[in-house]
Amino acid sequence: MFSRPARRVTALAAGLMLGPLLQGCATLATSAASGLADNLSAAILEQDDPELVRAGAPAFLLLLDSLAAGSPGNPELQSAAARLYAAYAVTLGRAEGRAARRATRAREYGRQAVCAADRRACRLDELGYDEYLALLERLAPRTAEALFSYAIGSLAWLRTHSDDWGVLTGLPRIERTLERLLVIGPDDLLGSVNLYLGILNSLRPPALGGRPEVGRAYFERALELTGRNDLSVHVEFARNYARLVYDRELHDALLQEVLDRPVAAPGLTLFNTLAREQALELLAETDEFF
């Protein structure tokens, strides 16, 4: 999933709601927890051994659960939990039957994050489609991080429940949410936002209502915004667009670039390592697919 991958995995910031009399102590505790979380996040993102991360991630998830339970009104912390649970559900740990439960938790943490960021969004899931769009238009840039986490948690949930065609009715809402983030989101989120919009627009061929050429434009923008250093963009571009339109030349060129470029990059090493594994798998299937 999940441009700066530091934001896709977690940019953990913890806050302790201890009341005005203990504000100074809360600030110190928050700073210490944030420093610990930032260092742990950096260590995860710089790791080139995905199996080590998979083995250690459950402990980090439990830590996030503990911190989130202590700060239910902290959108940064709820966002962090949503993103890590989403990443673990669809990328890092996809054990049979457990990915869906983790994705459900990711979606709930995303809902809590956007509620904490703007109380008007607390019942976002219950709104009709037109009401949902109207609320999106009223959300300010300060809610962008939480709104992004809500979208990522929802995407993870949809992906792990893809055998239920009914859940796909939620895709238009997620797409509108990501489009709103193109307007209010900070620059370092835009690569990821364009990546996910590329995927959403490449889910179906034109004959079935898909917009793959719109998706291609989003993928190309994501490559530009990330300086082509986030190799997961190449993989998703090849898997979702090039395969959909049977463009083998583009497919192979994107995946070969993944193999040719270094995986080590600040904040990208883990996801680039995973992208290289996926590129090798996709290339091995090329003759059979095309």
Same fold, 1-173 and 186-290: yes
Q: What pLDDT score does 115 carry?
A: 94
**What does the alpha-carbon distance between residue 287 and residue 290 come to, in Å, rounded to a whole number?**
5
Q: So what's the pLDDT on residue 51?
A: 79
Residue 279 has which token pair? 């590129």
pLDDT of res. 258: 97
Architecture field, domain 186-290: Alpha Horseshoe (1.25)
Task: Mark residue 12 as left, alpha or beta (left: phi above 0; alpha: psi -120 to 50; beta: remaining).
Answer: beta
Where exactly are the structural domains of the chain?
1-173, 186-290
Helix or strand run (H / E) with residue 161: none
Distance (Å, rounded) from C-alpha 268 to C-alpha 196? 17
Q: How far is CA 247 from CA 38, 149, 232, 261, 289, in A?
A: 41, 32, 19, 22, 11
Arch. (CATH architecture) of 1-173: Alpha Horseshoe (1.25)
Local confidence pLDDT in tens for the 290 residues of the chain: 433 433 433 332 222 222 323 223 233 334 444 445 556 666 677 777 777 877 777 888 888 788 777 777 888 888 888 888 888 787 765 555 678 888 889 999 999 999 999 999 998 889 999 999 999 999 999 999 999 999 999 988 888 876 766 667 788 999 999 999 999 999 989 999 999 999 999 988 888 888 999 999 999 999 999 999 999 999 999 999 999 999 999 999 999 999 999 998 887 888 899 899 999 999 999 999 99
Give the H or E element holding residue 4.
Answer: none
